[in-house]
């Protein structure tokens, strides 16, 4: 089998590692030079993306246009030594590397940062999907991490949990079990997983996830998967050792397919020999086109998992062949990355979408495909794309791993497709899992709210930083659930948005755009297909 997306491999690491070390030595000295000259060039250099996932410092730089003062000493020392000690994540190494991120303190009580319960109860679920004769679930971004790779009591795991983009990996196994029980109680027969099955792409994690999914199959729920940007050729595959990390094997595309062969590949009507895409039957007259949209071929070259998505030229040939085979039947497309733009203004979406999205979109619409499922942005959203009299609907869902652990329920009959949105919050409360729910929520706040508050505090008063951080966190939380059109006036009138806009923060346009999203209804929707 030929995978044209897999032009790099672990065997090439020695050359890539040497290249990366030299690059980072030069880069570190260049950074030190720009501290003296001015932060303008420094900000531009950070946005080049060479070290996108290697350093919190450059995330801060890209997000806020300012190098944090706590990093200046580290950069100076690194440059003087002639080796970029703060960028040790380059390449794969068995060396144990210490975490270095500080612990933020929240200035507000956590219970104040949540979805309004009355609103949540009134809009949470209309069970539209129950109108369909067939019922499936769409879940994304589980971000699992094998239990064998960490000790929950270690300092390293505590730091990893606090600083892993608001996610928590500690209870993903339990959440998958809660999800399975919920789907069985609803009569759901099929689970679609649109990528990022793992958080670091380790082989041990994928093997454990395959065992978990095997439990769904054993209980009568068919599972079909696709790849995500975290899943394959991940240079940051590590286990946590004490207060540091140690590299472990990731997986190649061939290994990924072998591990998950029972979740789409073996049942496929058609497999793409150049990628991990396939066509499979959900019913006699309803097919799933699962597209491998992840760019994992150059991950080891760059030293991180490339977030953006796309398709190789041969995949378009495969899609055309698959759609011809599906003629006269309905097709649901699934990929990790988005084909439609799910934020209106104020944010560069290149890392969320596929390259040349119009080419794939037009190919699908030319053959009557009306719906595409995706993840990646951790947001429950529905977007309509009109071309003449024809519509294509892009449906994203939130990350199952992130509070309040949302997913989609989809039903259909011969005329219509029905979409509902659910989450695990009520189930976890009902099943005595309040402690897990609180833990997941507080980890998210510790990262998503408190980290932003600390950064805003560098240029704002404590009160202004609190208002801005609260606004951004709550708007994003509501958007994750598809509730941004129902934001309470207490949030909209808090003054946080106005302060964000006046500050010039690059996320201000993004925060302003979310409440503008009113059609289609992001939680409950029906469409002719």
The domain ranges of the chain are 10-91, 112-428+521-528
The pLDDT score that the predictor gives to residue 349 is 58
Contact 154, 240 (CB under 8 A): yes
Report the 3 state secondary structure along 322-378. Answer: HHHHCCCCEEEEECCCECCCCCCCCCCCCCCEECCHHHHHHHHHHCCCCEEEECCCC
CB 492 within 8 A of CB 483: no
The whole-number pLDDT of residue 29 equals 46
Q: Are 485 and 380 in contact (CB under 8 A)?
A: no
pLDDT of residue 350: 62
* Paired residues of 399 in beta bridges: 140
Distance in angstroms (rounded) separating the CA atoms of residues 520 and 393:
9
Rounded distance, CA 514 to CA 481, Å?
Answer: 12
Question: pLDDT 10s per residue in the chain (529 long)?
Answer: 556 554 444 433 434 434 443 444 444 444 444 444 443 433 333 333 333 333 333 333 333 333 433 344 444 444 444 434 333 334 344 445 443 333 333 334 444 567 766 666 665 555 777 788 899 999 999 999 999 999 999 999 888 876 664 467 889 999 999 999 999 999 999 999 999 999 999 999 999 999 999 999 999 999 999 999 999 999 999 999 999 999 999 999 999 999 999 999 999 999 999 999 999 999 999 999 999 999 999 999 999 899 889 999 999 999 999 999 999 999 999 999 999 887 665 455 567 778 888 899 999 999 999 999 999 988 889 999 999 999 999 999 999 998 889 999 999 999 999 999 988 887 887 777 888 888 888 877 777 788 788 889 889 999 999 999 888 888 888 887 788 777 778 888 889 989 988 888 777 777 777 666 666 778 888 898 8
Residue 370 contacts residue 529 (beta carbons within 8 Å): yes
CA distance 246 to 98: 10
- Give residue 482's pLDDT: 80
For the chain, the residue count is: 529
Residue 307 CB: number of other CB atoms within 10 A? 17
What is the model's pLDDT at position 519?
Answer: 66
Taking residue 358's Cβ as centre, other Cβ atoms within 10 Å add up to 11
Contact 144, 211 (CB under 8 A): no
pLDDT at residue 313, rounded to an integer: 94
| pLDDT given for residue 290 in this prediction | 99
Is residue 8 reached through a cis peptide bond, with omega within 30 degrees of 0 on the bond before it? no
Return the pLDDT at 515: 61
112-428+521-528 architecture in CATH?
Answer: 4-Layer Sandwich (3.60)
CA distance 8 to 6: 5
pLDDT value, residue 35 = 40
Is residue 191 within 8 Å of residue 264, measured between CB atoms? no
CB burial of 322-356 (b: ≥16 within 10 Å; e: otherwise) equals: bbeebeeebbbbbbbbbbbebbeeebeeebbbbee
At 171 the three-state DSSP class reads coil
Quick check: pTM over 0.75?
A: yes
């Amino acid at each position: 089998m030929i995978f044209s997306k897999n032009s790099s491999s672990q065997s090439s690491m020695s050359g890539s590692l040497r290249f990366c070390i030299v690059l980072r030595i030069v880069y570190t000295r260049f950074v030190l030079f720009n501290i003296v000259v001015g932060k303008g060039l420094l900000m531009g250099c950070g946005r080049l993306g060479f070290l996108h996932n290697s350093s919190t410092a450059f995330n801060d730089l890209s997000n806020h246009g300012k190098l944090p003062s706590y990093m200046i000493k580290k950069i100076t020392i690194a440059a003087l030594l002639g080796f970029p000690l703060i960028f040790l994540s380059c390449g794969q190494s068995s060396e144990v590397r210490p975490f270095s991120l500080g612990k933020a303190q929240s200035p507000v009580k956590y219970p104040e940062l949540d979805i309004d319960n009355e609103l949540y109860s009134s809009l949470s679920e209309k069970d539209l999907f129950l109108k369909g004769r067939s019922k499936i679930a769409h879940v994304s971004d589980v971000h699992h991490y094998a239990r064998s790779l960490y000790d929950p009591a270690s300092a390293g795991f505590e730091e990893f949990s606090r600083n892993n983009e608001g996610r928590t990996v500690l209870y993903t196994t339990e959440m998958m079990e809660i999800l399975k029980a919920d789907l069985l109680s609803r009569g759901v027969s099929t689970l679609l997983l649109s990528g990022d099955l793992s958080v670091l792409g380790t082989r041990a994690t994928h093997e454990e996830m395959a065992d978990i999914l095997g439990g769904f199959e054993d209980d009568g729920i068919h599972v079909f998967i696709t790849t995500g940007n975290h899943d394959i050729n991940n240079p940051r595959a590590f286990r946590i050792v004490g207060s540091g990390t140690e590299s472990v094997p990731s997986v190649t595309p061939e290994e990924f397919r072998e591990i998950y062969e029972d979740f789409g590949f073996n049942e496929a009507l058609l497999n793409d020999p150049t990628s991990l895409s396939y066509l499979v039957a959900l019913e006699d007259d309803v097919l799933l086109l699962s597209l491998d949209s992840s760019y994992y071929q150059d991950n080891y070259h760059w030293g991180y998992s490339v977030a953006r998505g796309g398709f190789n030229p041969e995949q378009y040939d495969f899609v055309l062949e698959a759609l011809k085979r599906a003629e006269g039947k309905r097709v649901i497309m699934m990929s990790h990355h988005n084909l439609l733009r799910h934020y209106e203004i104020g944010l560069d979406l290149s890392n969320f979408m596929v390259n040349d999205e119009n080419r794939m979109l037009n190919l699908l619409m030319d053959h009557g495909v009306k719906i595409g499922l995706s993840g990646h942005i951790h947001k429950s959203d529905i977007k309509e794309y009109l071309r003449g009299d024809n519509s294509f609907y892009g449906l994203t869902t939130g990350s199952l791993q992130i509070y309040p652990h949302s997913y989609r329920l989809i039903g259909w009959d011969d005329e219509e497709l029905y979409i509902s949105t659910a989450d695990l919050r009520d189930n976890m409360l009902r099943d005595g899992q309040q402690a897990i729910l609180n833990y997941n929520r507080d980890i998210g706040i510790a990262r998503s709210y408190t980290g932003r508050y600390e950064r805003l505090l560098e240029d704002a008063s404590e009160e202004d930083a609190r208002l801005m951080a609260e606004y951004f966190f709550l708007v994003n939380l509501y958007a994750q659930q598809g509730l941004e059109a129902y934001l309470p006036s207490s949030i909209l009138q808090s003054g946080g948005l106005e302060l964000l806009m006046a500050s010039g923060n690059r996320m201000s346009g993004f925060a302003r755009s979310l409440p503008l999203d009113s059609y289609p209804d992001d939680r409950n929707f029906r469409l002719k297909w």
